Structure 1
Amino acid sequence: LTLGDTLVQFDMDADWHEELKMLRADFLPSVFADKVKCDIQFGQIDRSTKNDTSIEQAQFEVCAHKFVNLDGDDYSLALFNRCKYGHKVKEGMLSLALLRAPRFPDPECDRGSHHISYALYPHKEKFEESDVKARAYCYNNVVMLRKADFEMTSSVNCEGDGVIVETVKVAEDEGGIVVRLYEYKGKETGASVSVKGTKAAYECDMLENRKDKVDSGKLTFKPFEIKTLYFEI
């Protein structure tokens, strides 16, 4: 626990040499919901927490990237992970797969030493009004501090509710900076994006072919829309 924060962090070290066993972190929260929100690339997907149909029973474990989130009536709960993607959210249980020991296809799967981190994040808001997505990004991308004798600010600035900068890279033609963003709350919104030291901005496709010029870096996003921008140096 950190003073003034509700994030409950778990750190563990394991020397794993088991056979045909699985290590999981199981929780029984007082949050009940028919759906669990699972983080995926460029968004999230709702999956059932019930076991009524054969399809739901087949989802005894599902994949989620950085988090899963349960929205209850009075409060909500998210489970963050760092590179542990197997989740079981069924009939009141919230479970994260940590280590496995199968014989096939890799008989040495997961054997050895591991440092594992995960965290619980209780919050009052429903997912769309919460900061779960941002906190999950921060949990998976820890800030590294270095002593310096100069002031440093971000080269990329983005202002917009529900819009996340996912990727920043040098353009393939080396004539600009490419920025990829997406809207994650499932609603239409506006955003303003700028990159220091650039002359003009264009929307482009995945091959970085420039299309429409972006006026003053102002964009309109449809629900869950992905946009790629080319900033000319």
Structure 2
Amino acid sequence: KLLKVGFDTSIQTTNATYDTQFGSLKRSTTVNTSWDSARYEVCGHKWADLSEPGWGVSVLNESKFGWSGRDSSLTLTLLKSPKAPDDTCDMRQHSFAYAIMPHTGTVEESSVVQRGYEFNNPLKFEMLPSDAVAAESSRSWCSIEGEGVVLHTVKPAEDGSGDLVLRLFESKGTRSSARVELLLPVRAVRECNGMEDPGDEVDFTQNADAIIIPVNLTPFKIFALRLSF
């Protein structure tokens, strides 16, 4: 058995869009073939969306990953009750959150990707004495200018060299250009692969106390930078 929550809309579309780790995917909202029938549930992460030209509706979610889109409705699976391999699966008390986000334009033209991250990673506040706050405290050590490019991961390199790895991706399925601004004393920037092997050098410019790295990404491309200090 499944416990689901449903959201009925008046959207006219034949596809629903579901968030994935590095992008999104589309699945049919109609049942015309046995393949469509077998897709009664779709894996998705932070949001799912129904859109038509001009407007759409997204459902944001912070802990559940089973979705279903049929006709003009979206449903989110909240609980399951299998008895194998764990006969106590999903028992006890649960808490979860979801939100409805109407938007103008298509899902690619909306801000649903950013809102999904904000819903899953709410701002944290810390009180500081007034004399400890400087003008520079409002600046971020890393900022990105450009639509559709997301900084997903910041981590030290696995080889213990002291390098820093930034992993970005294109989130909207379009060709995107962006500028990455870093307030770090970077000596060299290289592309790297999933194993973090250093690749080609990446040109950057120095601007006062920051460096600017231009990036150009094809649809849904994952792009990693390795910073040396």
Shorter-chain TM-score bucket reads 0.7 to 0.9
Report deviation, 1:189. Answer: 2.2
Length, aligned pairs only: 213
The CA distance in 2 between the partners of 1:188 and 1:75, in whole Å, is: 22
Unaligned segments of structure 1, at least 5 residues? 1-20
Report deviation, 1:72. Answer: 2.2
Report deviation, 1:220. Answer: 1.5
Per-residue CA distance 1:113-150 (angstroms, 9 max, x = gap):
11110111001111111101111111111111111233
Identity of aligned residues (%): 35
The equivalent of 1:181 in structure 2 is 168
Distance 1:230 1:194, change over 3 A: farther
Contact 1:87 1:95 in 2 (8 A): yes
Q: Tell me if 1:218 matches 2:204.
A: no
The CA distance in 2 between the partners of 1:214 and 1:116, in whole Å, is: 42
Unaligned segments of structure 2, at least 5 residues? 205-212
Contact 2:190 2:225 in 1 (8 A): yes
The one-letter amino acid paired with 2:216 is T
The equivalent of 2:180 in structure 1 is 193
What SS does the corresponding residue of 2:95 show, helix, strand or coil?
strand
Contact 2:53 2:105 in 1 (8 A): no
The equivalent of 1:30 in structure 2 is 10
**Paired residue for 2:147, among 157, 161, 168?**
161
Report deviation, 1:152. Answer: 5.0
Superposition TM-score, scaled by structure 1 size? 0.86
Report deviation, 1:108. Answer: 0.6
The CA distance in 2 between the partners of 1:227 and 1:50, in whole Å, is: 35
The CA distance in 2 between the partners of 1:189 and 1:102, in whole Å, is: 43
Aligned pairs (5 A) from 1:128-139 = 128-139=108-119
Contact 2:46 2:120 in 1 (8 A): yes
CA RMSD between the two structures: 1.5
Report deviation, 1:199. Answer: 2.2
The CA distance in 2 between the partners of 1:103 and 1:112, in whole Å, is: 15
**Paired residue for 1:170, among 133, 156, 169?**
156
The equivalent of 2:208 in structure 1 is none
Moved segments of 4+, more than 6 Å = none
